[in-house]
Amino acid sequence: MSPAKSGFALVTPASKGLGFAFARQLLSNTDLPVLATARRDTGQLRKVLLEQVNDETGKADERLRVFEVDVTDEATIHAMAAQIREEFPQTPLRIAITVPGVLHVEKSPTQIDAANALHSFQVNALGPMLLMKHLAPFLPTKSSATFADVSLSAHVQRPWKLPSHAIYAMMAARVGSISDNSTGGWYSYRASKASVFQLTKTFDLYLRSRSRDRALAVALHPGTVQTDFTKDYWDGRHMLQPEESAVKLLQHLCGMQTGDSDGRGRCWDWKGEEVLP
């Protein structure tokens, strides 16, 4: 099937943890071109993804592209966008999942370090904003044709199936919710992740005008996932595995519709429950 009709998928970054799980799911359960990113070792990411994908089509190697992107360096994002235009001309973005994140822990105001706090905002807030800037032009407009079906074999039961509209998802976090904040701490992480709630709402309002029912934006909370990001908190509590969280989030994302009452522009967790700002 022509990518120009079916669209492409993008996960950034996809080098490990949750991003890797999303990229693996998209490679295994669609026949879309899948674009993944890493700050370094792009060849290694490509190798490991292809080793672990359930390649029913036998074409995962052809469908996977890996770009070197650092969200704190806009030039790398711009270079990726330029390469996408060259390699996939006239091809719309069908699903984007942006998951950059960094955590510098401050338990009290005296522990706030200016350099670390700035890094938190560069990765958690400005990074998603710059990705949105460069990826927005790839999303379908209100006059775009409906995406072609990308279902694989009908006899195989799949955990989720892409809808006919585009999805732009940004990874927020429950600790970015002001209304849910009952313990304090984590000043720069909370503040920078709170911005994702606002970015999502603002971007979705833009898409309502530009794309109408052809695209929506949504924020996600993945739960407490057992990854290198959370390794300091593996203290016996129940934690989700990356693949489990990715599947749950994709099930919710792909079940959403584009109507005003269907959750667009808001934040949803892995259980399908809304996380209020």
55 in a structural domain = yes
Which tokens in the block code for residue 102? 């960094």
CB of 135 closer than 8 Å to CB of 82: no
Number of domains in the chain: 1
277 in a structural domain = no
92 in a structural domain = yes
275 in a structural domain = no
| Helix 17-29 with 42-52: angle, nearest 10 deg | 50
206 in a structural domain = yes
80 in a structural domain = yes
276 in a structural domain = no
Band of the pLDDT at 80, cuts 50, 70, 90? very high
Q: Please report the DSSP string for 134-179 in residue order.
A: HHGGGS--TTSPPPPP----TTS--S----SSEEEEEE--GGG-ST
Q: What is the CATH number of the domain that holds 59?
A: 3.40.50.720
Cβ neighbours around 74 below 10 Å, total: 15
pTM reported for the whole predicted model:
0.92
Closest CA to 147 of 163, 159, 135, 161: 163
Q: From CA 121, how far away is CA 112, in angstroms rounded?
A: 13
Band of the pLDDT at 43, cuts 50, 70, 90? very high
Range of the domain at 167: 3-150+158-269
20 in a structural domain = yes
pLDDT digits (tens, 9 = 90+) for 212-228: 999 999 999 998 876 55
